[in-house]
Amino acid sequence: MLRDFAYSLILGKPLVLWLGLAAMICFLSAASIIALNNYTKVRIPIEWHKRFAIAGLIIAIVHMVLAISAYI
């Protein structure tokens, strides 16, 4: 049942793929906030770094569980 949900198609691609991309975007956003704050004059509040990192971790855990469900 969980495997069917993980591999349900959204815009022609499985849900697990979209979750992986969303996690990667969250982690890259968190890293870019630190890079922007350190190397440019752009200042983004550090709370956004924490929010993107936590969201990335949650999405990555859901992505991992759904991906492993195909093999259990």
Domain spans, the chain: 2-68
Farthest-apart Cα atoms in the chain, separation: 50
pLDDT of residue 64: 94
CA dist 11 and 69 (Å) reads: 21
The 3-state DSSP class for residue 45 equals coil
CA dist 6 and 66 (Å) reads: 5
Work out the mean pLDDT of the chain and round it to a whole number.
92
Please, which pLDDT band fits residue 7 given cuts at 50, 70 and 90? confident
Has residue 52 got a pLDDT over 90? yes
* Spatial contact of 24 and 61, defined as CB atoms under 8 Å apart: no
- What pairs with residue 13 in β-bridges? 10
Residue 62: how many CB atoms within 10 A of its CB?
16
Q: Mean pLDDT across the stretch 55-60?
A: 96
Please, which pLDDT band fits residue 4 given cuts at 50, 70 and 90? confident
Has residue 30 got a pLDDT over 90? yes
